[in-house]
Amino acid sequence: MNSPGAIEQIRQAGQNEALNVGAGTVTSVGSLEEALRAGARFVVTPLLNGDVIAECVRRNVPVFPGAFSPTEICEAWELGATMVKVFPADAGGPEYIRALGGPFPKIKLLPTGGVDLKTAADFLKAGAAGLGVGSPLFDKARIEAADWPWLAERTRQFVEIVRAGRR
């Protein structure tokens, strides 16, 4: 939601029935409302906002709130998070995800920030329920150049890492 033209991008992408389009950087109930009106079907936040989580839970919208400390992570989960986006994950690395699994074995953790082709498998081995991947997949220069074969190949590589991690 912090990118120029975010609402229009959500609206346009949402017209493709094959895509599950969400909104990121949702920081308030107001931006949540805008995103949902545009067609977002899930929400990612950079912070723990109880009002946003509660509204998503009320509307049955998957929500992935950002948290880092054990207190924030536990609170996000108790409020109804689908998964908790641990951000920035590179600050603690896979070891931090593994350590969180001790006291919180039922909380689904989604490390984000620092997840790339080199670290993805380690995060999964550490107990991550999923991976939040940004610039290593959506490289700005490649997108601007419409290098779709590169994007398809990079996506395939991440999917294979996730598949292997689930075996």
- Digit-by-digit pLDDT tens for the chain (167 residues) are 998 899 999 999 999 989 899 999 999 999 999 999 999 999 999 999 999 999 999 999 999 999 999 999 999 999 999 999 999 999 999 999 999 999 999 999 999 999 999 999 999 999 999 999 988 998 989 999 999 999 999 999 999 999 998 87
pTM of the entire predicted model: 0.92
Q: Say which residues have a Cβ less than 8 Å from residue 1's Cβ, sequence separation at least 6.
A: 7, 23, 24, 25, 26, 27, 31, 34, 35
Q: What is the CATH number of domain 42-133?
A: 3.20.20.70
DSSP letters for 93-104: HHHHHHHHHTT-
Side-chain-side CA neighbours of residue 52 (13 Å): 30
In angstroms, the CA 64 to CA 79 distance is 11
